[in-house]
Amino acid sequence: MINLRLAALAGSITLALASPALSAEFGKPVMMQAVAVKTARQSNPLLYKLWSDLINKNEEHFASTGHSNPPESILFNEYSSAGRTILVSTIFLNQFCDAGPNSATSTALYASCPLRVAVVSGAEIQTVKNAKACFLDARPGSVLDLDPPPTGPDPKTTGTYSNLVTKGNSIAISTLQSGHAQPECAVTVPF
């Protein structure tokens, strides 16, 4: 009975406010969802709005070079807590990501990209914290163009994760590559 009540309570607080997607679970690392930048414009206007400045600069750049945009993607999780939504997201745009070293000994699959943690009330973004994150997504169709298993990483345990720590009002970002933590990718952003 108690378990059922707890489950119902958890269900009520994990219902996302900003998008139709369910909020990520609290207190443990959850792999970020992926959405193409172009798709986000329709499916998650708030997420698109969060990144609109960089997306627009990126568009202007490619308009000036005449090159067509390469695949671009956003990773994100949403948390709903105490009447507000916490949106954590990293974006893969060529103009703003560091692809990493050109090196035979490098084993890193991720790119270093901008990270934003936004506090949202209603449809308004109230605060935004900026940082850098390791952008990693091995699911089919990923912008990173990784090999599928067995030569490539396991998509189920490869990605960028977020963990909402409600007690400290912070988000912990981590990255796993086939289940192995990438220590250099760990970052905590207070909000």
Q: Residues in the site for another protein, rule: CB under 8 A?
A: 62, 65, 67-71, 94, 97-109, 111-112, 143-145, 151, 184
Q: How far is the CB of 88 from another protein (least distance, A)?
A: 20
What span, in angstroms and rounded, lies between the C-alpha atoms of 164 and 159?
16
Identify which of residues 124 and 145 has a Cβ nearer to another protein in the complex.
145
Complex with another protein: residue 12 or 105, whichever CB lies closer: 105
The minimum distance between CB 44 and another protein, in angstroms, equals 24
Minimum distance, C-beta of residue 71 to another protein, in the bound complex (Å): 7
The answer to whether residues 78 and 18 touch, using CB atoms and an 8 Å cutoff, is: yes
Complex with another protein: residue 42 or 65, whichever CB lies closer: 65
Distance between CA atoms of residues 55 and 48, nearest Å: 8
Nearer to another protein, 12 or 68 (CB): 68
Q: Of 12 and 102, which has the nearer Cβ to another protein?
A: 102
Q: Are 27 and 162 in contact (CB under 8 A)?
A: no
Q: How far apart are CA 183 and CA 174, in angstroms?
A: 8
Strands 187-190 and 159-165: unpaired
Q: How far is the CB of 98 from another protein (least distance, A)?
A: 4
Q: How far is the CB of 9 from another protein (least distance, A)?
A: 40
Q: How far is the CB of 63 from another protein (least distance, A)?
A: 12
175 close to 159: Cβ distance less than 8 angstroms: yes
Measured from the CB atom, the residue of 3 and 106 that comes closer to another protein is 106
